[in-house]
Structure 1
Amino acid sequence: MASFAHDFPFDPAYGRTLDDLLRVPAPPAPEDFAAFWKARHDEARAVATAPVAGPAEEERDGVRLHGVTFTSVGGVRLGGWLALPVDGPAERGFVIGHGYGGRQGAGADVPLPLPRSAAILPCVRGMGSRGLLPGVPEDAAGHVLHGVGSRDTYVIGDCVADLWCAASALQELLPQLAGPGRLGYMGESFGGGLGALALPWDERFGAAQLTVPTFGNHPLRLSLPCAGSGEPVRAHHREHPTVAEVLRYFDAATAATLLELPTLVAAALFDPAVPPPGQFAVHNALPGHRELMVLRAGHFSYEGLAEEGGELAARRTRFFGAWL
């Protein structure tokens, strides 16, 4: 198991070895799990996203970055960035999810994994800097509990729909990317968990990469202290134990049991924000082609982090090159 000097009041490796982590299962699905998500997907696919791309704001790493806005479920207008290749038309497309805290720009999501690619980098509802909404908390501790009293009002379901609508917006802006299996998905942490929930129902995606994905195995997560969004959920659960029934519908590992497209997972042995057992539960549940890169740590700075990040970037390029 991984070990680093730290000052957390708990063990971010949770006493698990790699062999232990590779045996963490997914919780069973509610009987109507698939019906619930298919209905949410149908609703999102019916949205007229009306995307608008603004002028180029930046050019680097082979792409021009434009501001973009689009409509999601509930008539909510969201923003983000659109990356278009500098030279020639886009031949591949990506939807790129972000971590908790949102995104201030394209950041490390550019360069894209493959040349001649386009991407939409949306800010999901409530998240900065282009997804802020009145009444939806921007901070992770408030956001992760927003509407959690019901599966129909929980903000995480709407954030998943925001990703589906972002895919629709990208394909409307670039019709050559329309059709089954034409898009790739990348998401880290919060974006990794949202991706696992979104992808089983959407034929437009051909491959995915999930890095340190959150929301895996909620029953286990509720027993593990952490420094991330899982901790306010644990506190809420102590006062409102019935929330566990709502969380069953938003379990990334449960959803992963139905995720058949090729998926690369980067999961960490040590992570104070997203407990590793939940990350590995997502990987372990995948029934189709899956690849695993074991990271020494997630959400934590350590010697060798840059080198490991470079190795993951190379793995990502090889993976999407083979499947998109």
Structure 2
Amino acid sequence: MTSFVHDFPFDPAHGRTLDELLAVPAPPVPDDFADFWRARYAAAREVATEPELGPVEEERDGVRIHGVTYTSVGGVRIGGWVALPAGGAAREPVRHGFVIGHGYGGRQEAGPGVPLPLPSSAAILPCVRGMGTRALVDGIPDVSAGHVLHGIESRDTYVIGDCVADLWCAASALEELVPELAGTGRLGYHGESFGGGLGALALPWDERIAAGQLTVPTFGNHPLRLTLPCAGSGEAVRGYHREHPEVVDVLRYFDAATAAGFVARPTLVAAALFDPSVPPPGQFAVYNALAGERELLVLPAGHFEYEGLAEDVAGLVEARRAFFGKWLG
């Protein structure tokens, strides 16, 4: 086990060794889990996303970064950024595309999504509904503790389902903006924490995404998560569950580890041994359940500053580059 000096009132490693983490299972699958998500995906694919690309806001790391808006399910207009290869007056050809998710802090800029994992790539970096300055929605809290509970009374109203749809619609918007990506099998997804959990829920149903990379993914094994204290959005769900135990029937449909059992495409998971915000057993449950080709990068810690963090982040960036280079061609 990795040990760090900390002042949390609980053990962010939850007493698990690596061998124990590699044995954490996914919870039982609801009989209609796949039908539920396939219907959500079909509805998202029917959306006319009508993306609008804004002027260049920044140029660095070989790309020009534009603002973008597009339409998602429910007619909600989503904002974010698009990165396109820089290259003189004429844009250079695009060989790969990425949808890049964000953490539960939201996204105020393209930031760590750039540089992109591979050269000659385009990417869309959306702010899912309610999160970040470019996707604020009246009635949806923009703070994680409130956002994660929005609409949780029903699987049909839970905001997490619509956030997953925002990612699918982001892929549609990117293909409309960069039509040479459509049908190439060179579209990848990567996301961290909140974006990792959303990615696990999104990947099984979208045949356009050829490979995924999930870093410290949340929402893994909800029944177990409800027993583990944390400093992240899971604590708000734990508090809600104490007053509304029936919420477990909704959470069954938004379990990233359950969804991972339907992920047949290659996936790289970076999971942490110590993480105060996303309990490590849930992260490893996502990796353990993956049905397709899988790779694991074990991190000493997630959501935590420690000596050597910069080197480990650089290692993750390189592992991501090698992974997508292998699977996206």
TM-score calculated relative to the size of structure 1: 0.99
Counting matched residue pairs gives: 324
1:275-290 aligned within 5 A: 275-290=279-294
Residue 318 of structure 1 aligns with an amino acid whose one-letter code is: A
1:168-187 aligned within 5 A: 168-179=172-183, 181-187=185-191
User: 1:120 — aligned with what?
Assistant: 124
Question: What SS does the corresponding residue of 1:127 show, helix, strand or coil?
Answer: coil
- Tell me how far 1:106 sits from its aligned partner: 1.0
Query: What is the CA deviation profile of residues 275-312 of structure 1, one whole-angstrom value per residue up to 9, with x for unaligned ones?
Result: 00000000000111100000000000000000001111
Residue 164 of structure 2 aligns with an amino acid whose one-letter code is: V
CA distance in 1, matches of 2:141, 2:256: 22
Residue 222 of structure 2 aligns with an amino acid whose one-letter code is: H
1:27-38 aligned within 5 A: 27-38=27-38
User: 1:53 — aligned with what?
Assistant: 53
Structural RMSD (CA):
0.6
User: 1:266 — aligned with what?
Assistant: 270
User: 1:163 — aligned with what?
Assistant: 167
Residue 218 of structure 2 aligns with an amino acid whose one-letter code is: T
- Tell me how far 1:181 sits from its aligned partner: 2.4
1:215–1:253 Cα contact (<8 Å) kept = yes
- Tell me how far 1:91 sits from its aligned partner: 1.0
CA distance in 2, matches of 1:207, 1:129: 28
Structure 2 residue 319 is the aligned partner of structure 1 residue 315: yes
User: 1:21 — aligned with what?
Assistant: 21
Percent sequence identity over aligned pairs = 76
User: 2:207 — aligned with what?
Assistant: 203
CA distance in 1, matches of 2:93, 2:109: 23
Structure 2 residue 12 is the aligned partner of structure 1 residue 12: yes
CA distance in 1, matches of 2:160, 2:291: 24
- Tell me how far 1:118 sits from its aligned partner: 0.3
Query: What is the CA deviation profile of residues 49-83 of structure 1, one whole-angstrom value per residue up to 9, with x for unaligned ones?
Result: 00000110000000000000000000000100000
User: 2:81 — aligned with what?
Assistant: 81
Question: What SS does the corresponding residue of 1:90 show, helix, strand or coil?
Answer: coil
Uncovered stretches (5+) of structure 2, i.e. residues with no partner: none
Question: What SS does the corresponding residue of 2:155 show, helix, strand or coil?
Answer: coil
Residue 200 of structure 2 aligns with an amino acid whose one-letter code is: A
User: 1:217 — aligned with what?
Assistant: 221
CA distance in 2, matches of 1:287, 1:77: 34
User: 1:253 — aligned with what?
Assistant: 257
Structure 2 residue 66 is the aligned partner of structure 1 residue 62: no
- Tell me how far 1:109 sits from its aligned partner: 1.1
1:212–1:267 Cα contact (<8 Å) kept = yes
- Tell me how far 1:35 sits from its aligned partner: 0.3
Residue 210 of structure 2 aligns with an amino acid whose one-letter code is: G
Question: What SS does the corresponding residue of 1:215 show, helix, strand or coil?
Answer: coil
Question: What SS does the corresponding residue of 2:311 show, helix, strand or coil?
Answer: helix
Query: What is the CA deviation profile of residues 251-294 of structure 1, one whole-angstrom value per residue up to 9, with x for unaligned ones?
Result: 00000000010000000000000000000000000111100000
Query: What is the CA deviation profile of residues 10-32 of structure 1, one whole-angstrom value per residue up to 9, with x for unaligned ones?
Result: 00000000000000000111100
1:221–1:278 Cα contact (<8 Å) kept = yes
User: 2:72 — aligned with what?
Assistant: 72
1:180–1:205 Cα contact (<8 Å) kept = no
Q: Give the stretch that moved more between structures: 140-149 or 81-90.
A: 81-90
| 4+ runs deviating over 4 angstroms | none
- Tell me how far 1:180 sits from its aligned partner: 5.8
CA distance in 2, matches of 1:128, 1:286: 30
User: 1:41 — aligned with what?
Assistant: 41
1:180–1:206 Cα contact (<8 Å) kept = no
Uncovered stretches (5+) of structure 1, i.e. residues with no partner: none
CA distance in 1, matches of 2:57, 2:322: 29
